[in-house]
Amino acid sequence: MANPIKKIGVLTSGGDSPGMNAAIRSVVRTCAFHNIECIGIYRGYEGMIDGDFKPLDARSVNNIINKGGTFLKSARSDRFRTKEGRQQAYDQLQKSGVEALVLIGGDGTFTGGMVFNEEFNFPVIGIPGTIDNDIVGTNFTLGYDTALNTAVEAIDKIRDTASSHKRLFFVEVMGRDVGHIALNAGVGSGAEEILVPEEDLGLDRLLESLEKSKHTGKSSSIVVVAEGDKTGKNVFELRDYVEENLVGYDVRVSVLGHMQRGGPPSCFDRVLASRMGVKAVESLMEGKNNVMVGTINNKLELYPIDKAVKGHSKIDAELLRVSDIMSI
């Protein structure tokens, strides 16, 4: 063991994701198990600058494992992007006696933690929390499984009305830079076509696919579109384009939006959050620093934060092929 840590801070930052509360609970209770003080930092890095701290014990996190969002709140912080802001945050941590941080969030959260670590040599460990599943160094991020289930459930309901009225629905899901939600939810819900940022299939291919579906007897269709799709048109422009170029299609649009970020976390996300929280605290106790807790082939691993931030997660090529075969 390295020098014993007596006080650990935990914060959530960036976009919320289901499972963040479960991760906070795990961090707090692991600290309590090892007789380490735990400090909850409210409103992310913004709260760190303001000294918005509150001691947390095992009873402070009762009945939150099943709650979406984050009870520590989250906020974007322009002040933390400045050296002065980070100095203020460091001074607040020093004043309160916090010796290490557990950061729960995504790309921006980890970038802030990496810079903070470089400037002040302050121990940080990240837990990946984002529904997009776009962090390198882990197969799954907290909230991704829940968001997938939310999207599939919504698309199933949309299909009911699509088939009743013989309509084509474009359903937009989250995923500005990556198409993991769109691809997996599309395959899981039986979508006829899936448009993701990683693959520019082109508008001609889309029209061809929809025409083929119609000729093979499909009376209704679902097209799942990631918000970062590379066709050059947003989901409403796609609807207009199809209506202009294909006769006989009654086209509707449904944007799932922020409902994908809310709701109770799935059992998978609750268990993953619990495992990651324990690993994060015990890794800090062992002297580990500037790393992220990830899961690779269901085994928890530590991955350098700088590589997690600079890397790009890849779409599943095999699943893309599966989606093509399933849409016949």
Phi, psi of 197 (to 5 degrees): -60, -30
Q: What angle do CA 80, 82, 88 make, to 5 degrees?
A: 60
Q: In what order do the strands lie in the sheet with 100-105?
A: 53-56, 37-41, 7-12, 100-105, 124-128, 291-296, 299-304
| pLDDT of 100 higher than 80 | yes
DSSP designation for 247: T
pLDDT tens digits, one per residue of 102-160: 999 999 999 999 999 999 999 999 999 999 999 999 999 999 999 999 999 999 999 99
Averaged pLDDT, 72-77: 93
Residue 287: predicted pLDDT: 96
Residue 230: predicted pLDDT: 72
Q: Write the CB contacts of 103 (distance below 8 Å, at least 6 apart in sequence).
A: 11, 13, 109, 110, 112, 113, 124, 125, 126, 127
Averaged pLDDT, 47-67: 98
| Residue from 52, 132, 229, 269 carrying the catalytic annotation | 132
Q: Which of 77-91, 224-238, 280-294 has the lowest mean pLDDT?
A: 224-238
| pLDDT of 315 higher than 70 | yes
Confidence of residue 72 (pLDDT cuts 50, 70, 90): very high
Q: Over pLDDT 70: what percentage of the chain? A: 98
User: Which amino acid is residue 194, in one-letter code?
Assistant: I
DSSP string, 38-96: EEEETTHHHHHHHT-EEEE-GGGGTT-TT--S-TT-----SGGGSHHHHHHHHHHHHHH
pLDDT tens digits, one per residue of 239-248: 999 889 988 7
Q: In what order do the strands lie in the sheet with 168-173?
A: 193-195, 221-226, 168-173, 251-255
Fold exhibited by the domain 7-143+265-310: Rossmann fold (3.40.50)
Fold exhibited by the domain 145-261: Rossmann fold (3.40.50)
Residue 185: predicted pLDDT: 97
- Mean confidence (pLDDT) of the chain: 93
Terminal Cα distance for the chain, rounded:
58
Residue 1: predicted pLDDT: 44
Pick left, alpha or beta for residue 160 (phi over 0 → left; psi -120 to 50 → alpha; otherwise beta). Answer: alpha
pLDDT tens digits, one per residue of 281-300: 999 999 999 999 999 999 99
Averaged pLDDT, 1-25: 92
| pLDDT of 277 higher than 80 | yes
Q: Which helix (H) or strand (E) segment is 275 a member of?
A: helix 267-285
Q: What are the domain boundaries of the chain? A: 7-143+265-310, 145-261
CA 45, CA 34: separation in Å to the nearest integer? 26
Examine the residue annotation and report whether 229 is marked as an active-site residue of this protein.
Answer: no
pLDDT tens digits, one per residue of 145-198: 999 999 999 999 999 998 888 889 999 999 888 999 999 999 999 998 999 988
Confidence of residue 2 (pLDDT cuts 50, 70, 90): low
